[in-house]
Amino acid sequence: MTTASFMTPRRLVAAISMAACSLAYGIQANAADHPGVKIYATGGTIAGSSASSTDTTNYKSGSIGVQALLDAVPELADVAEVTGEQIANTGSSNIDQEILLKLSKSINEALATDATHGVVITHGTDTLEETGFFLDLTVESDKPVVMVGAMRPATAISADGPFNLLEAVTLAADEGAEGRGAMIVLNDRIGSAYYTTKTNAIMMDTFKATEQGYLGAFISGKPHFYYTPATPTDKPHFDVTSLDGLPKVDIVYAHQDMDPALFTAALDNGAKGIVIAGSGNGSIPDTLKPLVKQAMEDGLPVVRSTRTGNGIVTAKEEGIGSGALNPQKARILLSLALTETDDMDKVRSYFE
């Protein structure tokens, strides 16, 4: 693996060997001059590989370890004193609450020390926004928390992972990145993890926050911010240090001719709350409204989001409007809210 070309296994091994020597030398020479950045690796496309250098869809995610990722980018030593930890090594569709809680707790511990200026999480892009949102709500620190991934595997021609990783570490080491909450870095763009979402299944420029925009961008390897540090209005924080699990919250997708039995099945299967991906402004069929109202009266919160991918879902008579949160992020917020309260008005206040 090199920053210029990710191709054959033989070239990959040779490049890693050379990069390892360069990285070791760089850390010895520069460690005292650079802030500490810890990388938490979870797998994903950025750690993916394929037998073909042109394969960008049928590769194996999470097949390269954290040390190989670091060794492939010796330039990391020019911006930070980097250490790495392998939290998981899988496709991001397999990320579960156990991994999320372990990650949040580890990051909180690391950022509480003077040795760590910021952290980077390498992650598959499919659910990267969910992990980023979870960390934005559960990490108690003004230090940089940076999510990064790739849309092309490490073995592909013009793989985007190495440069994305370098930019992520650069951002985590930058003093100007403090006080901005968790961030997502891909394709030279810096976005708020609270709002940014994946908008395209396979294209490089997939991560966007259409209404809220980007926080900044990278120019010749340096972060350029458009605004002074700020965080989303009324963003809550949740302490998960003593938690071993999270309340079960399911997402139900609304559509024409929807069978209300899907909603009932989620409750019967143990859901403590439900998010509905409604049409438009969180709209749901009339046949579903009595079930939503009854669930709310029974103390089971129902949040109505939108399947459109963008926009504000306003307050609802039946259920709770999700505000600016898409279904997958509303699910995380509802689950975290239920760790603190079962008061329906309090739960509603987190969204509306």
The DSSP code sequence of 222-264 is: EEEESS-S---TT------TT-S----EEEEE--TT--THHHH
How far is C-alpha 88 from the geometric centre of its chain's CA atoms?
A: 14
Say what the pLDDT of residue 25 is. 41
Say what the pLDDT of residue 137 is. 98
User: CA–CA separation, 178 vs 194, rounded Å?
Assistant: 15
Nearest 5°: phi and psi at 142?
-90, -5
Instruction: Write out the catalytic residue numbers.
Output: 45, 125
Tell me the whole-structure pTM to 2 decimals: 0.90
248-273: average pLDDT: 97
Provide, rounded to the nearest whole percent, the portion of the chain with pLDDT above 90. 86
Say what the pLDDT of residue 32 is. 55
Other Cβ atoms closer than 10 A to 6? 25
Q: 200, 341, 44: which is closest to 333 by C-alpha? A: 341
The number of helices, as runs of H, and strands, as runs of E, in the chain is 9, 14
Say what the pLDDT of residue 98 is. 98
303-315: average pLDDT: 97
94-117: average pLDDT: 98
Enter the tokens of residue 346. Answer: 């309090």
Q: 120, 100, 139: which is closest to 38 by C-alpha? A: 120
Contact between residue 144 and residue 171 where contact means Cβ atoms under 8 Å apart? yes
